[in-house]
Amino acid sequence: MKVLVIGSGGREHALVWKLKQSPKVDVIFCTPGNAGISELAECLDIKADDIDALLNFAKYEWIDLTVVGPEAPLTAGIVDAFVKEDRRIFGPDASGARLEGSKVFAKDFMLKYGIPSAEYKTFTSYIHAEEYIRLKGAPVVIKADGLAAGKGVFVCETRDEAIDALKVIMKDKAFGPAGNKVLIEQCLKGEEASFMVLTDGKTVLPLATSQDHKRIYDNDKGPNTGGMGAYSPAPVITQNLEKSVMKSVIEPLIKGLSREGINYRGVIYAGLMICDGKPFVLEFNCRFGDPEAQPVLMRLDSDLCEALKATTEGKLKDVKITWKNDVSVCVVMTSKGYPGPYEKGDKIIGLDSQKNRNDVVVFHSGTTLKDGEVVTSGGRVLGVTARGQDVKTAKEKAYEAVEKIHFKGMHYRKDIADKAIEKP
């Protein structure tokens, strides 16, 4: 098979890395890719949102399966365009991708189908939103409606913080049109977890659980980011809680999508808050999480290509997914200044020290090649991911690898997976 992976981040590197292991896959293309992906696949200079160029390439090269990594092409309708031309592609169509593309759509959908979530109100007027905050008080959560690369959510402990967040979204237009509408939500207190499933619209296959670390600094301090690290499995998701998530979140979601006439084929990612042992949905994403994909795919023991292909064909009932009985921890290394403005082009040293290891993989996110050397090109640069027999071992391996890698101004959290270690 010829496979095309769309995207350039750590998630896409992990997808390419796992697809490469499939005996069914002969050739992998990736667009636009990154320095790490270029060692496993042929990278192409086509932007991830250039749907016409991507479709033309898939037709010209007779690509057997296209796998969409990021959310932007999905919400823009890349699946609709490929399906119209009878090209096999993994991911939901534009109607299904609205679950992530519009937080207001997702919240209204959850309310309609009885999926547990926080109370909320939506606003298109800054004046009305500010007035509501002054009346409601804090803590509250302020969210830009549209796509904001994981940075459009503000957890505000005070009224002043909430009003400042509102200004950033609606007045400063930090996220462009994504901030034309905002959600103001009840602030749920508990422990977060990520729950991903594959679905072809009928069959649902849960993936290994994971937990992300959104804040930039240790102890969950500072602004939200795209994700500073993750681990799998997440101890907070017990077997009983997984059954509860399937019954109260995933099953009504799938039934609701069907009733709305949405034939959803791809990944559904539910970002959860576990409050007093009960799951509440913070958000839905229409693709693999990043960095959750890295530790989850590191533990996948079965053929990823087989599962993705079956999802696109509506044959997921014929697939069985198996997992390694270990733990995986991913530590994200970022450029100085992230999630704000950051510099690019800094040389990365020490990558060779981790090559050819089965228990540690350095997934590239924001990297490129310059004069034959790997340099930084993004805010999140690397996702150092390690497997071990338990959380403590996996964490130690990951941080030992991190300490051997260097680039100017690099930053990373020191407490990834500590919550899992603290669990009895």
Does 296 lie in the same domain as 342?
A: no
Does 213 lie in the same domain as 312?
A: yes
For 29-71, what is each residue's pLDDT tens digit? 999 999 999 999 999 999 999 999 999 999 999 999 999 999 9
Q: How far is CA 101 from CA 95, 118, 144, 173, 340, in A?
A: 9, 19, 10, 17, 22
> Could you say which of 256, 288, 318 is where a domain stops?
318
For 204-213, what is each residue's pLDDT tens digit? 999 999 999 9
> Could you say which of 266, 297, 318 is where a domain stops?
318
For 5-19, what is each residue's pLDDT tens digit? 999 999 999 999 999
Averaged pLDDT, 115-135:
96
Return the pLDDT at 356. Answer: 83
Dihedral of CA atoms 341, 217, 388, 311 in degrees, nearest 10, equals: -60
Does residue 420 register a pLDDT over 80?
A: yes
Place 423 in a pLDDT band, splitting at 50, 70 and 90.
low
Averaged pLDDT, 151-172:
94
> In this structure, what CATH number is given to the domain that contains residue 173?
3.30.1490.20
Q: How far is CA 14 from CA 26, 104, 370, 403, in A?
A: 17, 30, 22, 21
Report if residue 313 sits inside a domain. Answer: yes
pLDDT > 70 in the chain, percent:
99
For 346-388, what is each residue's pLDDT tens digit? 999 999 999 888 899 999 999 999 999 999 999 999 999 999 9
**Which residue range(s) make up the domain with 281?**
189-318
Report if residue 99 sits inside a domain. Answer: no
CB 323 within 8 A of CB 259: no
Does 311 lie in the same domain as 195?
A: yes
Report if residue 12 sits inside a domain. Answer: yes
Report if residue 152 sits inside a domain. Answer: yes
The C-alpha atoms of residue 158 and residue 220 are separated, in whole angstroms, by: 17
Residue 202's contacts (CB-CB under 8 Å, 6 or more residues apart) are 254, 314, 316, 317
Does 291 lie in the same domain as 258?
A: yes
Q: How far is CA 89 from CA 45, 84, 257, 286, 319, in A?
A: 20, 11, 19, 14, 18
Asked whether the bond before 139 is cis by omega within 30 degrees of 0, the reply is yes
Does 26 lie in the same domain as 53?
A: yes
When divided into structural domains, the chain yields a total of: 4
Averaged pLDDT, 389-402:
97
Averaged pLDDT, 314-324:
96
Report if residue 100 sits inside a domain. Answer: no
Report if residue 221 sits inside a domain. Answer: yes
Does 6 lie in the same domain as 56?
A: yes
Q: Within 10 A of 32 (CB to CB), how many other CB atoms are there?
A: 17
Does 344 lie in the same domain as 288?
A: no
Return the pLDDT at 422. Answer: 67
| Nearest in space to 198 (alpha carbons), one of 254, 279, 136, 123 | 254
In Å, how far from its chain's centre is CA 362? 17
How long is the chain?
424
Does 408 lie in the same domain as 331?
A: yes
> Mean pLDDT score of the chain, rounded to an integer?
95
Does 301 lie in the same domain as 208?
A: yes
Does 415 lie in the same domain as 339?
A: yes
Place 419 in a pLDDT band, splitting at 50, 70 and 90.
confident
Report if residue 226 sits inside a domain. Answer: yes
Return the pLDDT at 150. Answer: 72
